[in-house]
Structure 1
């Protein structure tokens, strides 16, 4: 297969970026060009709440220049992304529309979970010298509007949490102090300590962290250059403390000159150093690693994976599943029952392929719904569906979009509640998404009915379709009356969706 060229653009908090990639099955992914223009998007969003006409014009000018470069390369396949600096602006929809009208480029605004997950994907898949260690690792994604801390144990995602403590927000909050030392340092420490200590009490207590990975916008790569980090074994805690001691008490202009970085980035070095030290103290990590990968790299990796242009050994889908299992555990869900339903739902999904016409992504959403289906009982035994919906919509699941999270939450909600027709729906789902929710909720209801006793009586079941029935065959030797009765009560919705009934066959014991 010939090499493929594509490009990814990103509207960040402080700059607009484009990277051009060449992807070949044997050589993997290479960056063949990189362009950057400084545009203060985050400053507008976090100080004024909206993106100004002047900044919008700068974004459009940058994209117009990028298109000229793409034409020179003969590239027609490109993607434009926007992160929190655009997403959190009050005029986000207008800005995205105007960019398309003026430049012809359609911008995809990533949800927080998508943005963080894509960045993590770039780190894990692109960094040749990076391997997730067996012992605990905390990946800290420092964004303009918030932090995302993801903890890995045994090379798998254990938990993730978003903290509303972003660098651009901190910068705007302290502009009133004019960065006067030591007032600003003291207040910064108090604010960061408060949020990190809360995270430590709720999430770090169950994990031993040996290393921190710092990722984020251009500022993080600028700090990486200062520390002249090139790979393993990472920056030590002492390296961070030495840099901090060098910049304490200095003005932004002095830091900019000393570290040879633009003024806009230099203003945020002190908060990042305070944050890094706070995290080191809270986790007692021994190393900090700052990779080179960014959001564009992660999206290019995602493109490469979806188009099967190279082999990626890390199973990213299992990270998404791990996030759901963490939520299930946090809200005291029956984990054995949830995992059993996940497996059973997958069997029904595969059996019904020609009836629902859905793909692997929808299969993943069904698995997530099965894992999370009873977490609402933590709040209310009488309204578990509604409570589970609220929990899911209030909790990060890295790797799925906001719309996909809405779909998962709706599948769970209508596992126990009657699904209203589309005209009576609350408008959060389009017609296509509504149909997917209906098809997957019907499967989940049946699976839940078949484990009404939570004793996994159908663990060995075999499924076949004969005439207009799904034939469920099990060798379970004891009584299955409860499951039969529950399935009979719950199967009407499934029959309405798929036009199939059920027949249960129980193999008799051999005498």
Structure 2
């Protein structure tokens, strides 16, 4: 088996999906799924039951044997956010590792959103053409709906709603048996959850196109039979389907569409949820896609491997997400862009000193972008507010640890000096604390270079000398305030890197 071939496994709320993919060509050698309804356990009892764990073990062992039969050694196994919603998820994760040898990595909601975006960017037919107008990607799993917006062919924003059909069904199941019109009650429940999302949508932006994807949409393969992986339907056509489903009995749906009892129970909340979303967005065209989170893992891995089959920038959506967060909290764009520019220049020109890589450079760029968002709450100790806002926000594509690192870098970029070794951050390991310290030191220097908030510095030359780091700048005005600020903030740089940093500048006449 070639080195370029990799295995992927996703433990979702109702299925364990897997694939073996050649990253050079993005062609799947094998793909399949095993039904394991952990979502029913989680939404009913908040825990994964022992019988379900046994089913998971059998599925993973079968998949593992298949991977070995193909000679695949590199296998990525992830658990969806739904899996880790279970109160006993960490125990189950340990049990799965001891019984199968497979390590299940957790995904945050923002990571799931990132991988779904990668899936449509890499695999959805004519994606660039479709998204020239406003388009919303709606990924519906059993427990949640992830909405990702595109405008002018580019990523806009992402929001997660705890509003999957199985969750709706479990919440509403008791009520459905006691009210005369359960459809209206379910509709009102869904609308109440959509209200805040609609309020946060950008003003004056129309979304005529909707792309539906996700594991919960498997019911549509029975409701709208087709030989294609992607189905297009207009709003009137979907309205007819909605009217049929909302007036049909469970027995009719089961017999008419050959559905299992579990599938039948999810038809109404799934169709109702999609219809209310389409109506709220006032969309005209709907694409129902078979793309899943699994596809995003494949596309991202191929992109990171430098595959010519994928022509996307994996970091692009992450940086747009950070910029959107900065704009939401009204960060000064001129100071933000200045800080980002010179933080990255320092990173690139001092690589021999810090020894960090591409991913750490991305974290620095994100931190420099969002570092001042806390000023929206209060300019006094704004860095403290930045810390908790970043931790509570959805920064697409970051792991939970990376998001915590970005928040900490923002927390310490200002005058609040941390312990030099950051040993108080016990939730982060020593390697991550070292990365935080190195990036914080660089960000402090970049921030100090615009202490006046007038962007006086036009050009910078970085010289790594035996006894110091010398910054020689060309500026449009006097830089004494910047020099003073660097002396203050540069102390942490010297503590981290073992060299003082000095500013030498001349004013352009």
Tell me by how many angstroms 1:137 deviates.
Answer: 1.1
SS at match of 1:427: coil
Which residue number corresponds to residue 505 of structure 1?
504
Q: What whole-Å deviation, never above 9, does each CA across 1:346-394 have from its counterpart, x for those lacking one?
A: 1011112121111111111111110111100111211211111111111
Distance 1:301 1:136, change over 3 A: same
Which of 75, 78, 95 is the aligned partner of 2:75?
A: 78
Residues of 2 paired with 1:254 and 1:17: CA distance?
30
1:483/1:294 CA distance change after superposition, 3 Å? same
Select 1:303's aligned residue among 280, 287, 301. Answer: 301
Matching of residue 368 in structure 1 with residue 393 in structure 2: no
Task: Tell me the equivalent position of 1:250.
Answer: 248
Of the three residues 31, 34, 39, the one matched with 1:34 is 31
Are 1:127 and 1:292, in contact at CA under 8 Å, matched by a contact in 2?
Answer: no
- Partner-residue secondary structure (3-state), 2:443: helix
Q: How far apart, CA to CA, are the structure 2 residues paired with 1:97 and 1:508?
A: 62
Local SS of the residue matching 1:205: coil
**Residues 358 and 224 of structure 1: CA distance in aligned 2, closer, same or farther (over 3 Å):** farther
After superposition, what is the alpha-carbon deviation per residue over 1:121-162, rounded to whole angstroms, capped at 9, x for unaligned? Answer: 112112344335212111112123322211111222222222
Q: Separation in 2 of the partners of 1:166 and 1:30?
A: 30
In structure 1, the residue corresponding to 2:146 is in which secondary structure? strand
CA contact (8 A) 2:303 2:311 kept: no
User: After the TM superposition, which residues 435-454 of structure 1 pair with which residues of structure 2 at under 5 Å, given as runs?
Assistant: 435-454=434-453
Give the one of 269, 287, 290 matched to 2:288: 290
Supply the distance in 1 between the matched residues of 2:289 and 2:318 (Cα, whole angstroms). Answer: 22
Match of 2:274 among 263, 273, 276: 276
Show the counterpart of 1:194: 192
Q: What count of residue pairs does the alignment treat as equivalent?
A: 506
Q: Tell me by how many angstroms 1:13 deviates.
A: 0.8
TM-fit CA distance, 1:470: 2.5
Task: Report if the CA contact (8 A) 2:23-2:301 is conserved.
Answer: no
Counterpart residue number, 1:419: 418
Residue pair 2:230, 2:288 contacting (<8 A) in 1 also: no
Range 252-261 or range 449-458, more displaced: 252-261
Q: Do the aligned residues in 1 keep the contact of 2:26 with 2:309 (CA within 8 Å)?
A: no
Relative to 1, partners in 2 of residues 1:180 and 1:76: Cα closer, same or farther, differing over 3 Å? farther
The answer as to 2:473 corresponding to 1:474 is yes
In structure 2, distance between residues paired with 1:400 and 1:220? 26
Task: Give 2:47's match in structure 1, choosing from 50, 71, 84.
Answer: 50
Indicate the residue corresponding to 1:491 in structure 2.
490
Q: Which residue in the other structure is 1:17 paired with?
A: 17
Rounded to whole Å, the distance in 2 between the matches of 1:506 and 1:84 is: 51
Deviates more, 1:35-44 or 1:460-469: 460-469
Q: After alignment, is 249-258 or 491-500 more displaced?
A: 249-258
Match for residue 326 of structure 1 among 324, 328, 335: 324
RMSD: 2.1
Give the deviation of 1:505 after TM superposition: 3.0
CA distance in 2 between counterparts of 1:361 and 1:263 reads 46
SS in 2 for 1:419: coil
The answer (yes or no) to whether the contact 2:143–2:165 under 8 Å persists in 1 is yes
**Cα gap change, 1:509/1:360 in structure 2, threshold over 3 Å: closer, same or farther?**
closer
1:285 Cα deviation after fit: 1.3
Distance, in Å, in 2 between the alignment partners of 1:461 and 1:421 is 27
CA distance 1:181–1:10, change in 2 (3 Å): farther
Give the whole-Å Cα distance in 2 for the aligned partners of 1:476 and 1:70: 60
1:167, CA displacement in angstroms? 2.2
Q: Is the 8 A contact 1:9 1:19 kept in 2?
A: yes
SS in 2 for 1:246: helix
Q: Give 1:147's aligned residue.
A: 145
Q: Structure 1 residues 308-317 or 332-341, which shifts more?
A: 308-317
Taking the aligned partners of 2:467 and 2:97, their CA distance within structure 1 comes to: 49
How far apart, in 2, do the equivalents of 1:19 and 1:252 lie?
34
Change (3 A) 1:422 1:470: closer
Question: Could you tell me which residue of structure 2 aligns to residue 88 of structure 1?
Answer: 85
Q: Is the 8 A contact 2:231 2:289 kept in 1?
A: no
1:421 CA displacement = 5.2
- Alpha carbons 1:446, 1:487 under 8 Å: kept: yes
For residues 231 and 99 of structure 2, what CA distance do their matches in structure 1 show?
47
User: Structure 2: which 5+ runs fail to align?
Assistant: none
> Alpha-carbon deviations, 1:398-426, whole Å to 9, x = none?
11111110000000001122213557514
CA 1:5–1:253: 2 relative to 1, 3 Å: farther
Distance in 1 (CA, whole Å) between partners of 2:507 and 2:159 is 50
Query: Contact 1:204/1:283 (CA < 8 Å) preserved in 2?
Result: no
Is contact 1:321-1:368 (8 Å) kept?
Answer: yes
Following TM superposition, by how much is the alpha carbon of 1:226 offset from its aligned partner in structure 2, in angstroms?
A: 3.2
Q: Deviations over 1:232-287 (max 9, x none)?
A: 88321112111112212323343233223333223222222222222222221111
Deviation at 1:473, TM superposition (A): 2.4
Determine if contact 2:422/2:433 at 8 Å carries over to the other structure: no
* Superimposed CA distance per residue, residues 177-210 of structure 1 (whole angstroms, 9 cap, x where no aligned partner): 4568863211111111122222112224342212
How far has the Cα of 1:231 moved from its partner?
A: 7.3
Match of 1:113 in 2: 110
Q: Is the CA contact (8 Å cut-off) linking 1:197 and 1:282 kept in structure 2?
A: no
Separation in structure 1 between the aligned mates of residue 230 and residue 123 of structure 2, nearest angstrom: 15
Equivalents in 2 of 1:321, 1:313: separation in Å?
17
